[in-house]
Amino acid sequence: MAVQLLQPKQLQSLTFANANFVGVKVTGSNDSGYQASVAESVARILSTRLGERVMRPLFGSNLYLLRDRTFNSEWRVLATRYVYEAIETNEPRVRFKQLYFSIDAHGKHDFYLELEARS
């Protein structure tokens, strides 16, 4: 069963030197409201610095650490790790499935996240 990809949600706080976070895809659920809610929650988690919320020190991600770094294989590994840790810690409705990276002809790097709804 194919689930339609949500419209990419551009997040200014997740724009890096050469890479942009462009969207979230949730598989295993047919409810578009659920998918939009999860995508919004994930966007909030990934755009919040880890430790930024005083009463919830584990909320957020370390993606901000990659802002001024060169986009290479190490960057991809760290981004995948940081996204995985943030999703597994803060969003109980979904499981991390994969982080996809794409590069266009102009050298612009986009990445989007694929998640699976928990049963």
For residue range 8-64, list pLDDT tens digits in order. 444 445 656 666 777 788 888 777 777 788 888 888 898 899 888 889 999 999 988
Q: Is the pTM of this model over 0.85?
A: no
Retrieve residue 4's tokens: 């339609």
Q: How far apart (Å, rounded) are the C-alpha atoms in residues 100 and 93?
A: 20
User: Which segments within 28-65 are labelled E, that is strand?
Assistant: none
Domains annotated on the chain, with CATH? 12-105 (3.10.450)
Comparing C-alpha atoms, which of 114, 78, 112 is closest to residue 96?
Answer: 114
